[in-house]
Amino acid sequence: MLGDSLYARLIVNPAAGAGRTAKRWPQIKEFLKKIGVEFEHDLTEAPGHAIELAKTAVGKGYTLIVSVGGDGTINEVVNGIYDTGNLKDVTLGIIGTGTGGDYIRTLGIPRHYQQSCERLLHPDKIVVDLGIVEHTINGEKKRRLFTNFAGLGFDAEVVKATTKKYKSLGSVSSYLMGLLSTLVCYHNREISLKIDGKEEERRVCTIVMSNGKYGGGSMYIAPQADIKDGLFDVVIIGDVSKPDLLASLPRIYRGTHLTHPKVIIKRAREVEIQSKVSIALQADGELLGEAPARFSILPLALTILV
């Protein structure tokens, strides 16, 4: 057990927000001390490091672990906590400093660091669902939790382009540049889709399993999603043409795309996707691998300070 004077472990990703977190961290640290938050912290050094740091923090007895970074940092911290088997015993705090900030937008956590820091002192708590994705990478089966959303197809290819080429531009600009560059060469995919046991064949542009409402740098991708209902909002963008997709882009930011004739939304606890050709997979804005993939809900699994 930890003493009363040391109650939080912060896991800080300096690379989040295209490196802006590294510049902002000294201010965050001083502000936390100023308002009386007592904590220790670790800095991540590479992708995946936050998973190990979260495991270590749980092993040391911390029951409040705070992610300082973006959606990808949150994802790693949650996966680390889960891997210890102590998910129900740990509360997650979030100071959002990443590029997109989509998950905290759904949670209602402020983007401004001073406001999110202050909430650590006077917290309300919410218990939310998590997603699990089982997928393949280089022929090897993997399992990963996600907090906000996961997607296959065009969505994941945009993440790939955004991450590798444009992330330094900021949330909306980087995603738009990634989208436009992907649009040039992407082709819709034929997939086998099983939603809660019901099978169908579809040609799709992209398919997204959402817990949260936002994705891709403030796109209002699943306006009706509820992070506590035990269900994914499965958003299927069908065989749309490139001009139609481009013209419909503003509707996705407004959340009015669900009335498009080639957009379908379903709610489900389990989704399985297979494809005869390569189809990329992302979760919480991080590339994971490719189909075949199986998605399932872990209901009311994580407690978050909001």
Q: Residues 261-286: pLDDT tens digits?
A: 999 999 999 999 999 898 999 999 88
User: Residue type for 95, please?
Assistant: I
Whether residue 284 contacts residue 104, with contact meaning beta carbons closer than 8 Å, is answered with no
CATH topology of domain 136-298: Tumour Suppressor Smad4 (2.60.200)
* Cα torsion through 141, 146, 150, 152, rounded to 10: -10
What is the distance, to the nearest Å, from the Cα of residue 101 to the centroid of all Cα atoms in its chain?
Answer: 9
In whole angstroms, give the CA distance from residue 180 to residue 176. Answer: 6
Mark 269-302 as b/e (b = at least 16 C-beta within 10 Å). eebbbebeeebbbbbbbbbbbbbbbbbbbeebbb
Whether residue 182 contacts residue 157, with contact meaning beta carbons closer than 8 Å, is answered with yes
What is the distance, to the nearest Å, from the Cα of residue 176 to the centroid of all Cα atoms in its chain?
Answer: 18
Using left for φ > 0, alpha for ψ between -120 and 50, and beta otherwise, residue 49 falls in alpha
Strands (E), the chain: 8-12, 39-43, 64-69, 91-96, 125-137, 140-146, 149-153, 189-195, 198-204, 206-210, 232-237, 263-268, 270-275, 280-283, 286-305
Residues of each domain in the chain carrying CATH 2.60.200.40: 136-298
Residues of each domain in the chain carrying CATH 3.40.50.10330: 8-123
Whether residue 50 contacts residue 81, with contact meaning beta carbons closer than 8 Å, is answered with no
In whole angstroms, give the CA distance from residue 91 to residue 28. Answer: 20
Region 8-123: CATH code? 3.40.50.10330
Tally the C-alpha atoms within 13 A of residue 124's C-alpha that lie toward its C-beta: 5
Residue 216's φ and ψ, nearest 5 degrees, are: 65, 35
What pTM value is reported for the model?
A: 0.92
Q: How do residues 35-69 score in pLDDT, each as one tens digit?
A: 999 999 999 999 999 999 999 999 999 999 999 99
In whole angstroms, give the CA distance from residue 24 to residue 298. Answer: 34
Encode the chain (306 residues) as per-residue pLDDT tens digits: 343 445 899 999 999 988 999 999 999 999 999 999 999 999 999 999 999 999 999 999 999 999 999 999 999 999 999 999 999 999 999 999 987 789 999 999 999 999 999 999 987 999 999 999 999 888 788 999 999 999 999 989 888 877 766 655 555 566 677 777 888 889 999 999 999 999 999 999 999 999 999 987 788 999 999 999 999 999 999 999 999 988 998 898 899 999 999 999 999 999 999 998 989 999 998 889 889 999 999 999 999 999
CA distances from 87 to 84, 130, 237 (A): 7, 11, 34
